[in-house]
Amino acid sequence: MKINNVILRTVAKLVFFIILTLAVYLFFAGHNSPGGGFSGGLVLASALVLLFIVFDIETIQKGLPIDFKLVAAFGAFLSVGTGFGALVFGENFLTQAFDYFNIPFFGEIELTTVTIFEGGVALVVVGVVVTILLSISEDE
Amino acid sequence: MSILVLAIFIPFLAAAIIPFLYKYLKNIHVGWFAILVPTGLFIYLASLIPAISNGEVIVQTMNWIPSYGINITAYLDGLSLTLALLISGVGALVILYSIYYLSSKEPIGTFYTYLMLFMGAMLGVVMSDNMLVLYVFWELTSISSFLLIAFWYQRKRSREGAKKSLIITVSGGISMLVGFIMVGSMSNTWSIREVIANVATISDHALYTPAMLLVLLGAFTKSAQFPFHIWLPDAMEAPTPVSAYLHSATMVKAGIYLVARFTPVFGGEAVWFWAVTGVGIFTLFWGSFNAVRQTDLKALLAYSTISQLGMIMSMFGMGSAALYLGYSTESVVYTGATFAALFHLVNHSTFKGALFMVVGVVDHSVGTRDIRRLGGLITLMPVTFTIATIGSMSMAGLPPFNGFLSKEMFFVSTLEITEAGFFGLGAWGIAIPVIAWAASVFTFVYATVFVVKTFLGPYKEEKLEHPAHEPNPGMLISPIILGMLVIAFFFIPNVVGENLIAPAMNGIFPTFAAEGAELGMHIHAWHGFKPELFMTIGVVLFGVLLFVTKKYWSGLYNLFPEKWSINTFYGFVLDQMEDKSTVITNKYMTRYLRDYMVYIFAFFILAIGGIFIFTEAYYFTLPENAPVSNFEWLVILSMMIAGITILFAKSRLTAIVLNSILGFGISILFVLFRAPDLALTQTIIEAVTTVLFLVAYYFLPELDKEDTTKKTKSVNLFISIGVGVVFTVVALGVQGNKAFGTISTFFENSYELAGGKNMVNAILGDFRAFDTMMEVVVLLIAGIGVYTMIRVKTKKESDQIEDK
């Protein structure tokens, strides 16, 4: 059955980038306002899910040849790795560090290792959600 | 991080790197990289010998879990150093040997990874001062041994041998852990050194003897003592370098190390003395008695190893008698047994390592290890024959080889212990030298069998896979080095005795050393015409006699029929356990998801509801709670309607949509209660799960009218109402009870402590980051689980690949 869904496809192309922006915003906003790695990752995953629903899976995988299992594994590696990173500096496991830096053009911003940790969380969420979705939908 | 701690972790690091080297450097045998690790470690450890032999002790600590007193403390005294040198030295030789033994067509990348894993774990065992860390490394050696035995996992016997060794050694390891925990709770420390220092305070404790027996169980299973020895012959399915390394030179010595290490804690007790000496001496006899009947060379060596391990074990038992008497000039005599044990431990590694390598060479050359097919190899493989003879003569306790020295010392100890008047030795002590002597006769017989049946007699080429020839010279380097050490230790035994064993003695008898006792011994080859010399001569005479008349008395073995053996008993227990647990499991695993839900919810109602009734925690006062506003009522009512409507939904799609109303309703409630983070997450999750449900339901059939009995329906009704009630009571009870003070003030400082203004995320990412990390890992595991369940299906051919 072929459904003519031109409107959906056109809107989805546009909305995808809006959702993507929201995901990135949520990810970085999480430090001081609602958001964070988990919700940012989930929004990113839902953007991808939207693409998979509107277009078919083969098309998306051709345009976006990413193995999401690896994404998830890399995310977990990053999160656990930041924990061990603290050990290198003689701190306890998973101790997070933060400081404020004056960077020209941006002014004072805060850099923190939590961002890396949360980045790992986000990648795991994206990877796992897409992996589960793809493996269920492709089952014969 | 200190160097000594680093030394333990270098092999683990190498284990991580080797797969990549193997993958990207195809032209070079990866063993050449692996050999650098033990060689480097050996040189480093050897450089510490002068310091250790001066009586120094090196202690370095790296904090691991300081709040529980669990730290990685590398502790190097004479005993640890002796073992560590064996591990790295024999390790280097074995790797050199394996480079020529294993062809590059085998998955050698995994082989060396496992070997490095084992080496690190074994170093960890002998250098850890913390009991729990020691336990972790201990189990790691069992696991790496399991992996190495099953290296040729296509063979059924390899898999079974691996399984058997794992089951036996790990059960022993767990009992040892319980023993450690008992010792730890008695002495309030995990450090072995501190336990030894305060041993007087724990020896009257009620847990003292149980702890001792449990620790001994761990040692006996690992060191293949009777009746746990049955795993070692089956472990011979491993590649020969592994047998030479793990199952004769190092891993099986871990149990002996443990006994030596804990002698100052438990030694001097009659139970310890009889358990260690008795089990050891019986294992010595049983192993040598059974070795004679073996027809596979490796099996013969396996039983021989069991027997020799029993001999070392019994010597540690006899040496512990000195601690019963306390320090005096008479009691120091008994420490000679411990000295002999340590010396034989080193000697055994040299000659048994060489012998295993010889078997590997023979197997590699002619394609069989069966002595019924071998014979007459002396002219074709003269070098191999020479090494085999050196090793066997040393094993049989003949001069001029190192085995003679330690065997003589062993006889001296067995004779001395009969003169001790305590522990009931007056009545039973005479049995020790008698059994020891009889066992030594059999040792002589199987050592002779090993050489004569393989190398002498007629050459039967038609029975061999390949014609005999000397192997690649590289394969002979390691056995030649070990063979030369066998001779060298005979002529210069005191180099080992003074530099390694004497400091090790100070660690085993710290109270004696504190009194200034001279625990080192001068090893003589010639004792004069003493009983021990006559015992050796008797061993040779009777050994030759038994060897010549073997076919007349070998009917003796039929007195122990196969169905009465420990192996049969082990198999029977395992089969019964599997059968019975299958029956029990099948009773409740009905393969209906519905039934499993019933179990889960019923358990929830009973456990949580039961606790609430039992502790009377269901106290709550409604008026104190905040009033419910009209808007909230609206949301709750629509959720209620949606929830009830699900029951009457005619299609799955309707059910999914109704279900998502519940989720979105909750997120609206979160907004109303000013929890934007929760609301945000809940909304997105709801969206994603709805999609997942839709995808999954695509594969399900149309929703049918439910066709269940009245009984099932009433059970379901009862459970759903029960769960609802319990949940409501819990929610209200949490509000009504304030059992603990609130800790929220701590989190309010999130900006100062974690640099973030969002308190929720500061908790997730910083204060309680460990939870988040684990959740992330769990999520990953769940994702991989879904993927493998759906996508990775077993292929039909896989059955044929196994069971070769």
Q: What is the mean pLDDT of residues B529-543?
A: 85
Q: What is the pLDDT of residue B779?
A: 93
Hey, what are B282's tokens? 């019986």
| Any domain includes B394 | yes
Determine the Cα angle at B492 with ends B397 and B481, to 5°.
Answer: 75
Please provide the size of chain B in residues: 804
CB contact A35 to B (< 8 Å): yes
Q: Is the pLDDT of residue B621 over 90?
A: no
Pick among A78, A137, A138, A140 to test the B interface (most B CBs inside 10 A)? A137
| Any domain includes B762 | yes
Q: What is the mean pLDDT of residues A21-44?
A: 89
Q: What is the pLDDT of residue B605?
A: 93
Cα B549 to chain centroid distance, Å, stands at 42
Q: What is the mean pLDDT of residues B396-409?
A: 88
Neighbours of B30 (CB within 10 A): 22
Which contacts qualify for B147-150: CB closer than 8 Å, 24 or more apart?
A: B147/B114, B147/B117, B148/B111, B148/B114, B148/B115, B148/B118, B148/B238, B148/B239, B148/B242, B148/B246, B149/B235, B149/B237, B149/B238, B149/B242
| Interface contact A124-B754, CB threshold 8 A | no
Domain extent at residue A75: 6-137
CB contact B529 to A (< 8 Å): no
Q: Considering only CA atoms, which of B357, B350, B382, B406 is closest in space to residue B469?
A: B382
What does the radius of gyration of chain A's CA atoms come to, in whole angstroms? 18
Question: B714, B739, B764 — which closes off a domain?
Answer: B739
| Any domain includes B322 | yes
Residue entry with tokens 């925690």: B617
| Interface contact B765-A132, CB threshold 8 A | no
Q: What is the DSSP annotation of A1-70? A: -----HHHHHHHHHHHHHHHHHHHHHHHHTTTSS--HHHHHHHHHHHHHHHHHHS-HHHHHHHS---HHH
Dihedral pair phi/psi, residue B256, rounded to 5°: -65, -40
Residue entry with tokens 């949490």: B734
Percent of chain B with pLDDT over 70: 97
CA distances from B568 to A51, B562, B574 (A): 62, 7, 10
Q: What is the pLDDT of residue A2?
A: 59
Q: What is the mean pLDDT of residues B352-380?
A: 88
Q: Is the pLDDT of residue A59 over 90?
A: no
CATH code, B704: 1.20.120.1200
Question: B739, B759, B794 — which closes off a domain?
Answer: B739
| Interface contact A73-B681, CB threshold 8 A | no
What pairing do the DSSP bridges indicate for beta strands A107-112 and B70-76? unpaired
Q: Which of residues 78-107 of A touch B (CB under 8 A)?
A: 79-80, 83, 93-94, 96, 98-99
What pairing do the DSSP bridges indicate for beta strands B58-65 and A107-112? unpaired
Q: CA dihedral defined by B487, B490, B491, B493, rounded to 10 degrees?
A: 130
Q: List the single range of A12-26, B158-172, B554-568, B756-770 with lowest mean pLDDT.
A: B554-568
Q: Is the pLDDT of residue A75 over 50?
A: yes
Q: Which of residues 692-721 of B touch A (CB under 8 A)?
A: 692, 695-696, 698-699
| Interface contact A133-B687, CB threshold 8 A | no
B696, B765, B777 member nearest A136 (Cβ): B696
CB contact B676 to A (< 8 Å): yes
Q: CA dihedral defined by B120, B122, B123, B125, rounded to 10 degrees?
A: 120
Closest-CA distance, A62 to chain B, in angstroms, reads 20
Amino acid at B381: M
CB contact B681 to A (< 8 Å): yes
Tell me how far apart the alpha carbons of residues B149 and B245 are, in angstroms, rounded to a whole number: 12
Asked if residue B367 and residue B317 are part of one domain, the reply reads yes
Q: List the single range of A51-55, B115-119, B553-557 with lowest mean pLDDT.
A: B553-557
Predicted confidence band of residue B798 (pLDDT cuts 50, 70, 90): low
Spell out a b/e string for B253-281, using b for 16 or more CB atoms within 10 Å of the CB, else e.
Answer: bbbbbbbbbbbbbbbbbeebbebbbbbbb
Q: Which residues of B touch A12 (CB under 8 A)?
A: none
Q: What is the mean pLDDT of residues B35-64?
A: 87
| Any domain includes A1 | no
CB contact B782 to A (< 8 Å): yes
Predicted confidence band of residue B666 (pLDDT cuts 50, 70, 90): very high
Closest-CA distance, B759 to chain A, in angstroms, reads 8
A49, A93, A132 member nearest B786 (Cβ): A132
Tell me how far apart the alpha carbons of residues A30 and A36 are, in angstroms, rounded to a whole number: 4
Percent of chain A with pLDDT over 70: 96
Q: What is the pLDDT of residue A14?
A: 92
Percent of chain A with pLDDT over 90: 30
Of the two residues B58 and B213, the one the predictor is more confident about is: B213
Asked if residue B409 and residue B380 are part of one domain, the reply reads yes
Q: What is the mean pLDDT of residues B617-626?
A: 73
Tell me how far apart the alpha carbons of residues B722 and B291 are, in angstroms, rounded to a whole number: 66
A31, A42, A114 member nearest B684 (Cβ): A42
SS (H, E, C) B456-475: CCCCCHHHCCCCCCCCCHHH
CB contact A40 to B (< 8 Å): no
Tell me how far apart the alpha carbons of residues B249 and B95 are, in angstroms, rounded to a whole number: 13
Q: Is the pLDDT of residue B644 over 50?
A: yes
pLDDT by residue (tens digit) across B418-468?
887 777 777 777 888 899 999 999 999 999 999 988 888 888 877 787 887
The beta-strand segments (E) located in B99-192 are none
Asked if residue B670 and residue B653 are part of one domain, the reply reads yes
Pick among A20, A132, A133 to test the B interface (most B CBs inside 10 A)? A132
Q: What is the pLDDT of residue B140?
A: 94
Dihedral pair phi/psi, residue B106, rounded to 5°: -75, 160
| Interface contact A75-B776, CB threshold 8 A | yes
Which DSSP symbol is given to B803?
-
Q: What is the pLDDT of residue B688?
A: 87
Q: What is the pLDDT of residue B645?
A: 92
Which DSSP symbol is given to B622?
G
| Interface contact B783-A127, CB threshold 8 A | yes
Total domain count, chain A: 1
| Any domain includes A130 | yes
Pick among A96, A101, A123, A130 to test the B interface (most B CBs inside 10 A)? A96
Q: Is the pLDDT of residue B794 over 70?
A: no
Q: Is the pLDDT of residue B298 over 50?
A: yes
Total domain count, chain B: 3
Q: Is the pLDDT of residue B804 over 50?
A: no
B688, B754, B782 member nearest A96 (Cβ): B754
Q: Is the pLDDT of residue B295 over 70?
A: yes
Q: CA dihedral defined by A125, A130, A131, A137, rounded to 10 degrees?
A: 150
Question: B739, B765, B782 — which closes off a domain?
Answer: B739
| Any domain includes A62 | yes
Inter-chain Cβ pairs, chain A and chain B, closer than 8 A: 140
Hey, what are A30's tokens? 């999480």
| Any domain includes A11 | yes
Q: What is the mean pLDDT of chain B?
A: 87
What does the radius of gyration of chain B's CA atoms come to, in whole angstroms? 33
Residue B264 exposure: Cα atoms within 13 Å on the Cβ side: 22
Q: Which residues of A touch B783 (CB under 8 A)?
A: 69, 72, 127-129, 131-132
Asked if residue B780 and residue B686 are part of one domain, the reply reads no
A43, A118, A132 member nearest B684 (Cβ): A43
Q: What is the pLDDT of residue B84?
A: 92
Q: What is the mean pLDDT of residues B623-637?
A: 85
Instruction: Specify which residues A109 forms β-bridges with.
Output: A101
Neighbours of A107 (CB within 10 A): 8
Determine the Cα angle at B89 with ends B88 and B93, to 5°.
Answer: 115
Q: Which residues of A touch B697 (CB under 8 A)?
A: none
Closest-CA distance, A19 to chain B, in angstroms, reads 12
Percent of chain B with pLDDT over 90: 35
pLDDT by residue (tens digit) across B724-778?
999 988 888 877 767 777 888 888 888 888 778 888 888 888 888 889 999 999 9
pLDDT by residue (tens digit) across B178-200?
999 999 998 888 899 888 888 88
Tell me if residue B370 falls in helix, strand or coil.
Answer: strand
Q: Which of residues 745-774 of B touch A (CB under 8 A)?
A: 754-758, 760-761, 764-766, 769-770, 772-773
Highest-scoring range by mean pLDDT, B245-249, B561-565, B583-587, B796-800: B583-587
What ipTM was assigned to the predicted interfaces of this complex? 0.92
Spell out a b/e string for B611-627, using b for 16 or more CB atoms within 10 Å of the CB, else e.
Answer: ebeeeebeebeeeeeee
pLDDT by residue (tens digit) across B669-712?
999 988 888 999 899 899 888 888 888 887 777 777 767 788 88
Q: What is the pLDDT of residue B116?
A: 93
| Interface contact A76-B756, CB threshold 8 A | no
Q: What is the pLDDT of residue B800?
A: 52
Asked if residue B767 and residue B636 are part of one domain, the reply reads no
CA distances from A91 to A76, A77, A84, B188, B472 (A): 21, 19, 9, 26, 52
Predicted confidence band of residue B796 (pLDDT cuts 50, 70, 90): low
Q: List the single range of A47-61, B384-398, B555-569 with lowest mean pLDDT.
A: B555-569
Asked if residue B343 and residue B462 are part of one domain, the reply reads yes
Domain extent at residue B294: 252-548
| Any domain includes B389 | yes
Hey, what are B457's tokens? 């007699």
Tell me how far apart the alpha carbons of residues B487 and B490 are, in angstroms, rounded to a whole number: 5
pTM of the full structure: 0.80
Tell me how far apart the alpha carbons of residues B585 and B698 are, in angstroms, rounded to a whole number: 32
CB contact B801 to A (< 8 Å): no
| Interface contact B761-A118, CB threshold 8 A | yes
Hey, what are B635's tokens? 């949301």
| Interface contact B783-A128, CB threshold 8 A | yes
Q: What is the pLDDT of residue B797?
A: 52
